[in-house]
Structure 1
Amino acid sequence: MSSDIVTPAEVHVLSERHAMLIDIRGHDEWLREHIYGARSLPLEQLQPGCFSEGSLSESDTVVFLCQSGMRTNSATAHLRNAVHPAKALIMQGGLNAWKAAGYPVQVDSRQPLPVMRQVQITAGALVLCGTVAGAVLSPAFYIIPGFVGPGLMFAGITGWCGMAKFLAVMPWNR
């Protein structure tokens, strides 16, 4: 069993030959946009034996992809073990490269943006508004970016993000 890097053009040919495409991004990311025929199986759910016993053989090919290729590249050994004995391939550049090559994707713009993008937009807006209000209205508004910055640091250090938890329960994310 090997693990190889393949281009979107090679994946396009393989997908026509019934290779299994697995998108390891979060399910919310997959719902918003994905390659036709790709299955959603987030990285944290991929474990050795997660496929039913005997469902994959040495003659099977599984192609893993994410948004940009970063997640698949950093988890190559984990991905390879999850599909043993099948051949594991990693799509270079992920979904971004697939789209740049001009291949079609299934887009559902009714789905909300992924929660982490919502966090980035909200944090950026709070910092911008707090800074502008602090400069124009009152220095007391500088407390807003002063609060958001440490919150983002805490989220990065611990992996727990209060803003993400809050946004995840908003009506548009249900």
Structure 2
Amino acid sequence: MDTGRVRELLDSDPRARLIDVRTPGEFEAERIPGSHNVPLDLLRERRSSISPAHTDPVVLVCGSGARAEQARDLLEDNGFQRLTVLSGGVGGWQEQGAPVERGTGKWAMERQVRLVAGSIVLAGVLGSLRYPKLKLLAGFIGGGLTFSALTNTCGMARLLSLLPYNRTPAQDAPGLLAALTADNAAGR
């Protein structure tokens, strides 16, 4: 669903929920006002215990749309019916001039991946001047990035999401999931 239609839905239906499935670090850095953070990794981890207590419309958001699509597949399997994905994610939202809230200086996952992948490639190329086989490391990362683009998945992002600043503290999990699953008769 494009930004304009999502904004119309949020304006017209007070029960509509905007669920951001990015990591807590990404959410802290930048988010759509009124959105709730329920990270994709938490959804995967708690898959067996997630079920809706409502029929409210839910708009899933991430950085570009890929993780939100994965979340939609998972949630549809758990009985959620009125799910949609924000086309283009937070980036697309911003490009359309829609408001965002900015928080701490944590980096978005895409930026983290670019830093790590670029650093490994640079180290591999520079190191290959002394140890020629290190250029294979750069080739391996290039292959991984190509695979990532073709499959719209990212193994490096999955690994980076395990870092402490990208993780959801265990004590927060029930509260975060409630933003998605609980009945909210009063609306947002």
Query: Which entry has the higher C-alpha Rg, 1 or 2?
Result: 1
- Distance in 2, matches of 1:36 and 1:62, equals 15
Contact 1:48 1:81 in 2 (8 A): no
Task: Tell me the number of residue pairs that the alignment of Structure 1 and Structure 2 aligns.
Answer: 152
SS of equivalent to 1:96: helix
Q: Which residue of 2 aligns with 1:41?
A: 38
Correspondence list, 1:146-161, <5 A = 146-147=136-137, 149-150=139-140, 159=155
Match for residue 2 of structure 2 among 4, 7, 16:
7
5+ residue gaps in structure 2?
Answer: 149-154, 166-188
SS of equivalent to 1:12: helix
Deviation at 1:117, TM superposition (A): 3.0
Deviation at 1:83, TM superposition (A): 6.0
Match for residue 65 of structure 1 among 31, 38, 61:
61
Q: Deviations over 1:50-76 (max 9, x none)?
A: 36x73x1x3x21111121122233443
User: How many percent of aligned residue pairs carry the same amino acid?
Assistant: 26
- Distance in 2, matches of 1:83 and 1:27, equals 25
- Distance in 1, matches of 2:79 and 2:24, equals 19
Q: TM-score, normalised by structure 2?
A: 0.61
Q: TM-score, normalised by structure 1?
A: 0.65
- Distance in 2, matches of 1:37 and 1:10, equals 16
5+ residue gaps in structure 1?
Answer: 1-5
Match for residue 32 of structure 1 among 4, 29, 32:
29
Q: Which residue of 1 aligns with 2:122?
A: 128
Q: CA, structure 1 residues 11+164, in 2 after alignment: closer, same or farther (shift >3 Å)?
A: closer
Match for residue 111 of structure 1 among 86, 93, 105:
105
Q: Which residue of 1 aligns with 2:92?
A: 97
RMSD of aligned C-alpha atoms? Answer: 3.7
Greater share of residues in strand? 1
Report which structure shows greater RCO (CA 8 Å, sep ≥6): 2
Contact 1:23 1:64 in 2 (8 A): yes
Determine if the alignment matches structure 1 residue 140 to structure 2 residue 140: no
